Amino acid sequence: MTSTATRLAQRGVQDGVLIVHKEAGWTSHDVVAKVRALLRESKVGHAGTLDPSATGVLPILVGRATRIAEYLVDWDKEYQARLRLGETTDTQDATGRLLASNDPSKVTEGDLQSVLTGFRGNQRQLPPMYSAVKVGGQRLYKAARAGKTIDRAERSIVIHTLELMSFDGRDAMLRVVCSKGTYVRTLCADIGQALGVGGHLFALERRRVGPLSIERALTVEQVASHLAASTLASQFLSLDELLFELPAVVVNEEQAARVLHGTPVSPVENGQFLSSLRDGNVRLKDEAGRLLAIGTHDQTGLGTIKVRKVLSLSSH
């Protein structure tokens, strides 16, 4: 075992992801720092930043899981968002300065449903000035705080689902399922603008990140309780579970040793018929079912599987 893995095991912790329920007022970095302090482990990170005012699912990566963050960022996300109509703010959410106020009482549920139709599917979205997007090497929020507006390019996003859950004439509760890179506060501001009264994101809860749902999420306090009771290990999702979307390729003992040294393996050598395997990333596993590495399958290279990232403990 690696020294990191040994330390984690001694504390009843494993490499993997904890689904943490972030509370309002904390930054994503705050949550990482709190979990890092609890676990006394330096290798802790997160996948998918939440604004401080938002709550809900924040995937916390522990140990070797920090090495697979790039494979998790493409997951879609589900939110429950409260859109407040009639008020426009400079940050597009409730933390910002009020820029304009309009009476939303003439907006009907039918009007709202009609406008929502135009925001479903493939969209182009302009990143908000109060965001961590870099333009010309500068974070947009830093320019915004200095009173500057920077030209920035629209981005392609997908709104898979946009449902109206309730509407009281002022606040609309929305269910949003969207692609990575989507700013829900910008979506809310754009909907308000399309209705002609303006609007902003009043409250946001992230319900799901890929397969990680809020039903399994733990508060930081609950993480501490599980740790004290030595039951925290059961709350982790393993690397193999997290990479479930990647096809699995089993290698024999000799090839497993090569994989752990970063050496490519060939389908001909391992006796597997891989002509039906699509090009792209795969999980390389040994005959005992242990995850060894992430590889890339390339049919143009005679089906060779190149090792991209070694993950097995045996490699250290």
Q: Supply the residues annotated as catalytic.
A: 51
Residue where the block lists tokens 């754009």 = 190
In angstroms, the CA 60 to CA 16 distance is 8
Give ∠ CA 8-76-120 in degrees, rounded to 5: 165
Q: Which amino acid is at 68?
A: I
8 Å CB contact between 231 and 136: no
In angstroms, the CA 267 to CA 274 distance is 6
Q: How many CB atoms lie within 10 A of CB 36?
A: 16
> Do the bridges between strand 87-89 and strand 248-250 make them parallel or antiparallel, or are there none, so unpaired?
unpaired
In angstroms, the CA 249 to CA 134 distance is 38
For helices 28-39 and 220-228, give the axis angle rounded to 10 degrees: 10
In angstroms, the CA 311 to CA 292 distance is 5
Secondary structure (3-state) at 242: helix
Residue 218, C-beta contacts closer than 8 angstroms, at least 6 positions apart? 18, 19, 20, 21, 226, 235
Which residues pair with residue 199 across a beta bridge?
A: 85
